[in-house]
Homo-oligomer: A and B are copies of this chain.
Amino acid sequence: MFKSVTLKDVAAKAGVSYQTVSKVINNKANVSPETEKRIWDAIADLRYTTNYSARSLRRRRSNTIGYTWEPAPPDQSNPILDTFLQSMFRAAEEKDYYLLCFPYHADDKNLLKVYRQLYDTGRVDGFVISRLNYKDPTVPYLLERNMPFVGFGRLDEADKSFPYVDVDGGEGVAQAIAHLVSLGHRKIAALAWPEDSRVGNNRMEGYYQGHAKAGLMPDPRLVSRGEGSSLVGFEATTRLLGLPMEIRPTAVVCMNDVMAIGAMQAVQQAGIQVGRDFGVTGFDDTPTARYLTPPLTSISQPISTIGENLMKRLIEYLETGAYPEPRCELVAPMLEIRESTAGYLPAKE
């Protein structure tokens, strides 16, 4: 059995104070290169480790966090990017950290290679990762190599294998269902993403839970799945409006605003008035939402809080070797009610 080596042992061997060792480890010391080298040598000789990885202890800290993201398709913008980046680097600046942006590679192998290069060359101390889906290859890769990271999102509902901040999308959709039910809607359709979308499934849970809470049983024929584009929203809604009267929906909740835009166009093309005759809700609360005719009811995510909390968590880990508890944090989204769900007059049955 090893005798546990303490910071004091390192300090004694290097002939410096306990505080100096701590400062050098945290890259905050103002000591000569010779002294610094003596301390690192002592750490290596004594095989000093904490729960914080020995590898990170050895290398010089860069006080830099790496982040990459998938570019938005050309006909869409990334509605949260500006706020997300700003909130991250404002939180980072408070602790003297910066954000390094690097290119996204659609090819997993290339992407993981970049993560590794950035970390192994000491360019960054850790990563923020986003757009997590089931079987995301980044998470096991970073975990295995002991690279510090936090996730905006999780792998699945039960997953607690790494620290993350995520939006409870299901809670947002449940709010939309409750709102539509309060207006008198009983047949509410859903425009959902394919079943391999983790975020999409999380949001759809709220569709079922919202119905259950209202004592309603959703008709499976009212759930349509497809990619989150405006065209898919248009076609699916056109199909839903052609259903026999007894099951035809009077409202549709969409898993993003882009699908909702297509849904609104389909409703208008059918000569039905969005809002009074047919309710439409989106998700994301893109800046576009409020400028549509009529303005779109949507679900907004507290992006600033998410970016700030992610960065604080990661930096706390880098500085102390421990993530703040609880390691995983779910934040609630908020329903922004606008005219696309206003003034509904249910037909007498």
Contacts and interface: CB of A to CB of B under 8 A. Distances in A.
Interface of A: 64, 71-72, 75-79, 81-83, 85-86, 89-90, 93, 98-104, 118, 123, 230, 261, 268, 286-288, 290-293
Nearest to A62: B123
B86 A82 contact: no
A89 B75 contact: no
A287 B81 contact: no
Given A103-B90, A123-B98, A75 B288 contact: no
Nearest to A90: B103
B100 A100 contact: yes
Give the oligomeric copy count. 2
A93 B103 contact: yes
A82 B68 CA distance: 11
Given A101-B89, A103-B90, A288-B288, A82 B81 contact: yes
A101 B102 contact: no
A293 B268 CA distance: 11
Given A77-B287, A81-B82, 17 more contacts: A71-B86, A77-B77, A77-B79, A81-B81, A86-B103, A89-B101, A90-B103, A98-B102, A98-B123, A99-B100, A99-B101, A99-B102, A100-B100, A230-B291, A287-B288, A291-B292, A292-B293
A89 B103 contact: yes
Contacts of A98: 100-102, 118, 123
8 contacts: A75-B290, A77-B286, A78-B81, A86-B103, A86-B104, A93-B102, A98-B101, A99-B102
A101 B268 CA distance: 43
A76 B286 CA distance: 9
Contacts of A71: 82-83, 86
Contacts of A93: 102-103
B102 A287 contact: no
A72 B84 CA distance: 12
